[in-house]
Amino acid sequence: MMTLTKAHLAKKVADDCGFLTGEARDIVDKLIGVVRTSLIEGEEVMITGFGKWMVRNKRARRGRNPQTGEELVLDSRRVVTWKYSPVLKRALNEAGK
């Protein structure tokens, strides 16, 4: 099994769209940067056919340190979640059928 990284994406952008590797790396960084900034600003990002990132507010809750059993309060926090697009789910389950 392989893992796709930013370097692979940059290579693909360089080869398919006609950029130098360095330029393509910069473009991929900026693309990810736009998604990041939106999420940090609390805005969701939806890519049709791929999925949607959302920012959720979690309420504070009482928790426990599982090692010591000590009770503690977990503060409210903001988290990023991602939900796959139904199109992607279908494609993932049609492969090999």
Residue 32's contacts (CB-CB under 8 Å, 6 or more residues apart) are 6
Among 21, 35, 72, 74, binds other proteins (CB under 8 A): 35
Query: Cβ 69 to other proteins, closest distance in Å?
Result: 26
Q: Can you tell me the distance from the alpha carbon of 12 to that of 70, in angstroms, rounded to the nearest whole number?
A: 50
Closer CB to other proteins, 72 or 91, in the complex: 91
| Torsion over CA: 86, 91, 96, 97 (sign) | positive
In the range 61-90, which residues lie near other proteins by CB under 8 A?
A: 77-82, 84, 88-89
How distant is the alpha carbon of residue 38 from its chain centre?
12
| 16 touches other proteins by CB under 8 A | yes
Q: Give Rg (Cα) of the chain.
A: 19
**Which residues contribute to the site for other proteins (CB under 8 A)?**
1-6, 8-9, 12-13, 16-17, 26-28, 30-36, 38-51, 53, 55, 77-82, 84, 88-89, 91-93, 95
